[in-house]
């Protein structure tokens, strides 16, 4: 199953990725208009993708975000 992504009010879509860490740490990111990734700092970095997804899911549930 694919990890859930969530849209926030300003049009950004939040998703889990390892950024430039090559799988060492995982975080929640959004894509900038130029195509690069930007970390969404309210959610801390995690050691596993499942932990990062759980943090994103909790954040989305608490704020009523919709999955996209």
> pLDDT tens-digit profile of 32-49?
999 999 999 999 999 999
Helix (H) or strand (E) holding 60: helix 49-63
Considering its fold, how many domains does the chain have in total? 1
Residue 42 lies in a domain: yes
- Round the average pLDDT of the chain to a whole number and report it: 96
With beta carbons less than 8 A apart as the criterion, state whether 38 and 32 touch: yes
Domain around 33: 6-67
Reading the block at residue 5, the tokens are 């992504």
pTM of the predicted protein model: 0.92
Q: Is residue 61 part of a domain?
A: yes
């Amino acid at each position: 199953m694919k990890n859930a992504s969530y849209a926030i009010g300003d049009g950004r879509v939040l998703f889990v990725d390892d950024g430039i860490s090559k799988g060492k740490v995982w975080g929640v990111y959004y894509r900038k208009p130029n195509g690069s990734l930007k970390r969404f700092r309210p959610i801390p970095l995690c050691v596993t993708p499942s932990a990062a997804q759980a943090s994103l899911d909790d954040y989305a549930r608490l704020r009523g975000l919709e999955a996209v």
